[in-house]
Amino acid sequence: MKKLVALTGAGISAESGIPTFRDAGGLWEGHKVEDVATPEGWHKNRELVLDFYNQRRKKALEVKPNHGHEVLVDLEKYFDVTIITQNVDDLHERAGSSKVIHLHGSLFESRSTLDESLVYPIKGWELKLGDKCEKGSQLRPNIVWFGEAVPMIEGAARYAADADIFVVIGTSMQVYPAAGLIDFVSSNVPKYLVDPNTTALHIHNLQIIKDKASTGMERLKELILK
Ligand code: OAD
């Protein structure tokens, strides 16, 4: 089976009702990125950061995967599909995709602030001040914040380098190292970009499907199964 690798961003969850980061009305609205998504923000006000992700988690539990997620599941009939997502929601898994790499962590996991190898599932929607790891330190969301290392990037880069087809869906490609993954893909490999607001990316062998994820992914499926 040919290997299809999909890099997804906030745009694939937009039609499920989760706002993207950088579109108007995006998620950072009302919050400065540095207050809620950096280690400095965490040290300044842990309660604010916990609450910010609690609200995101609550929202993620309320919504459902959309047709864009579903097409990626369907493509597993024809390809060996690996999804590399920047999203911290679990909509790919809930849609039924079997191989998902979460570059930026997961809303549904907490981790120790003392020992980063201690990761726990979060039951329900709330992580509170006073919730502690087995070594007695405060738990934080298991999310990669700005200024932190992205441990999953090495494995993701190997998948990108090995891809026979590479698809980018709903990401502004502004955040590194995720945006750099496309540079690992061989130049002869066909690449597709599904996004309604995309600006020209100067990449060899790239076909742009200027459409939202639900209908754009249908068009993509037709193109690659032709
Ligand atoms: P952005 O908000 O930067 O980009 C969202 C992209 O989705 C834009 O290119 C939109 O045009 C597109 N889009 C909007 N509606 C869409 C739809 N219905 N279908 C398809 N595409 C649509 O989000 P990301 O690129 O995912 O990091 O942001 C990357 C990272 O920045 C996030 O993972 C997060 C943030 O800071 C961390 O939290 C570490």
pLDDT (0 to 100) of residue 26: 58
Task: Please calculate the CA angle 41-47-50 and round it to the nearest 5 degrees.
Answer: 80
Q: Is 144 in the pocket of ligand 1 (CB under 6 A)?
A: yes
Neighbours of 123 (CB within 10 A): 8
Instruction: State whether the beta carbon of 11 lies less than 6 angstroms from ligand 1.
Output: yes
Give the per-residue pLDDT at 25.
59
* Ligand 1 binding pocket includes 22 (Cβ within 6 Å): yes
Question: What is 64-129 written as a DSSP string?
Answer: ---HHHHHHHHGGGTSEEEEEE---S-HHHHHT-S-EEETTEEEEEEEESS-TT-EEEPPSS---T
Instruction: Supply the pTM of this predicted model.
Output: 0.96
Would you call 102 a catalytic residue per the annotation? no
Distance CA 167, CA 191 (A): 6
Query: In this structure, which residue's CA is closest to atom 31 in ligand 1?
Result: 175
Residue among 69, 104, 202, 204 flagged as catalytic: 104
Residue 200: its pLDDT value, please? 67
Query: How many angstroms is it from 19 CA to the middle of ligand 1?
Result: 9
Distance CA 139, CA 143 (A): 12
Does the beta carbon of 217 sit less than 6 angstroms from any atom of ligand 1?
no
Say how far apart CA 101 and CA 199 lie, in whole Å.
26
- Would the CB of 8 count as within 6 Å of ligand 1? no
Nearest CA owner, ligand 1 atom 23:
10
Question: Are 6 and 72 spatial neighbours (Cβ–Cβ below 8 Å)?
Answer: yes
Select from 152, 68, 74, 139 the least CA-distant residue to 109. Answer: 139
How far is Cα 74 from Cα 96, in angstroms, rounded to an integer? 9
Residue 122: per-residue pLDDT:
97
Give the pair of three-digit tokens for residue 182: 């496309």
Q: In sequence order, which residues have a C-beta less than 8 Å from that of residue 180 and are 6 or more positions away?
A: none
Ligand 1 center to 135 CA (angstroms):
36
Tens of pLDDT, residue by residue, the chain (226 residues)? 999 999 999 999 999 999 898 775 555 657 888 899 999 999 999 999 999 999 999 999 999 999 999 999 999 999 999 999 999 999 999 999 999 999 999 999 999 999 999 999 999 999 999 999 999 999 999 999 999 999 999 999 999 999 999 999 999 998 999 999 999 999 999 999 999 997 767 888 999 999 999 999 999 999 999 8
Cα 52 to Cα 64: distance, rounded to the nearest angstrom: 20
What is the per-residue pLDDT for 136?
97
Going from the Cα of 154 to the center of ligand 1, the distance in angstroms, rounded, reads 21
Give me ligand 1 centre to Cα 84, in Å.
14
Q: Locate tokens 């201690």: which residue?
A: 118
Burial of 65: CB neighbours in 10 Å, binned 0-12, 13-18, 19+: buried
